[in-house]
Amino acid sequence: MTGLSAVPSGTLIDRALTLLLDGPLDAEGVATQVLGLPNAPRAVADRLAVALLGSDPRVRQQSDGRWALAAAAQGSPLLGECAFAVVDVETTGMQPTVDDRITEIAVVVVHGTRREVVFDSLVNPGRPIPGRIQELTGISDAMVKTAPTFADIADGVVDALAGRVFVAHNARFDWGFVGAEVKRAKGLVLDGPRLCTVRLARRLYRGEQSYSLGALAERFGLENAARHRAAGDAVVTGMLLERLLSVAAEKEIRTLQDLETMHRTPVAELPV
């Protein structure tokens, strides 16, 4: 599985994933190196490996019976094969793990020539929205009073993200909020590839005066009829992503791994 998933969090799974970075493990290796059971019979080791790793989408069992990271086993997909979940959230503030909550969320899927809003909802944050935030977004306490809580929509959000590459403009912000809300509501941890259109734009378009969503939308003529609303910003970010993917292809960036490598590389180290 190449895209995003919501998975249980646990030290044994984390240890297994770390070990699998070095290559596939057979069941005895899982029992010995992960579970600390070096003398487990083969049949027992097989059952333990399945119980630990069998339902985790980040891991797959190869045809030879060994366990491997899914991405390593499958190879990196071509960008044209990837489905991107472009996310935007509006919130009560800047601290997702403390007091702030999501007030609106939208997910737009970009996949080849398809661009579609697949999820869009106001969210009752369970606390007042600060006045300055209401002025910025136009989302008032009255508007969210009868809206669903995040717990009510968590399954729909996870479904909209599943199997797709998470994308946002300033992705750390949106990822932090969505991840915190999913963990509170479902006890699950988001895991998978994620990309930031700010970082991509800085690497593919050098020397812009501003890389804000508004500035880039104006620069490329991308109309946003609902600025600072989740669906409006997610749609425009999707349009921006399409442009960035096109420019990346011109630079011989073909696979998701190619794009992730560029995404991580400091601008100063990239060829002009």
What tens digit of pLDDT does each residue of 233-250 get? 999 999 999 999 999 999
Tokens 């990822």 belong to 175
| CATH number for the domain that contains residue 207 | 3.30.420.10
Q: Is the pLDDT of residue 76 over 90?
A: no
Give, in degrees to the nearest 5, the angle at Cα 96 between 92 and 99: 65
- Residue 60's pLDDT is 83
Is residue 239 domain-shared with residue 175, that is, in the same domain? yes
Phi/psi at 43 (nearest 5 deg)? -65, -40
Is residue 89 domain-shared with residue 196, that is, in the same domain? yes
- Going by pLDDT thresholds of 50, 70 and 90, the confidence category of residue 7 is low
Is residue 106 domain-shared with residue 145, that is, in the same domain? yes
Is residue 25 domain-shared with residue 113, that is, in the same domain? no
- Residue 84's pLDDT is 97
Is residue 164 domain-shared with residue 69, that is, in the same domain? no
Q: Are the beta carbons of 180 and 96 closer than 8 angstroms? A: yes
* Cα separation, 148 vs 152, whole angstroms: 6
Q: Are the beta carbons of 150 and 101 closer than 8 angstroms? A: yes
Is residue 109 domain-shared with residue 68, that is, in the same domain? no
For 187, what's the count of Cα atoms within 13 Å in the CB-facing half-sphere? 2
Each residue's pLDDT tens digit, 78-127: 899 899 999 999 999 999 988 999 999 999 999 999 999 999 999 999 99
The pLDDT mean for the chain works out to: 91
Tokens standing for residue 91: 């919130």
Exposure of 241 by Cβ count < 10 A (0-12 exposed, 13-18 middle, 19+ buried)? buried
Last residue of one domain, picked from the residues 56, 74, 92: 74
- Residue 144's pLDDT is 98
The dihedral sign for the CA sequence 138, 142, 148, 154:
positive
Comparison of pLDDT for 116 and 225, the residue scoring more: 116
Comparison of pLDDT for 192 and 149, the residue scoring more: 149
Q: Is the pLDDT of residue 10 over 70?
A: no
Nearest CA among 161, 160, 150, 147 for reference residue 186: 150
Each residue's pLDDT tens digit, 197-218: 999 999 999 999 999 999 999 9
- Residue 50's pLDDT is 93
Q: 105 - beta bridge partners?
A: 89, 121
Q: What's the whole-number mean pLDDT along residues 183-209?
A: 94
Last residue of one domain, picked from the residues 16, 40, 74: 74
Q: Is the pLDDT of residue 3 over 80?
A: no
Which residues contact residue 10 at a Cβ distance below 8 angstroms, ignoring those fewer than 6 apart? none
Tokens standing for residue 199: 């970082």
Enclosing domain of residue 44: 5-74
* Cα separation, 188 vs 238, whole angstroms: 26
Q: What's the whole-number mean pLDDT along residues 15-19?
A: 86
* Cα separation, 170 vs 179, whole angstroms: 15
Q: Which of 20-24, 182-186, 187-191, 241-245 has the lowest mean pLDDT?
A: 20-24
Split into its structural domains, the chain has a count of: 2
Q: In this prediction, what percent of the chain has a pLDDT beyond 70? A: 95
CB atoms within 10 A of CB 251: 13
* Cα separation, 83 vs 109, whole angstroms: 7
The dihedral sign for the CA sequence 15, 20, 22, 28:
positive
Last residue of one domain, picked from the residues 23, 54, 74: 74
- Going by pLDDT thresholds of 50, 70 and 90, the confidence category of residue 18 is confident
Is residue 70 domain-shared with residue 33, that is, in the same domain? yes
Supply the DSSP string of 45-101, one letter for each residue.
Answer: HHHHHHHHHTT-TTEEE-TTS-EEEHHHHH-PPBGGG--EEEEEEEESSS-TTTT--
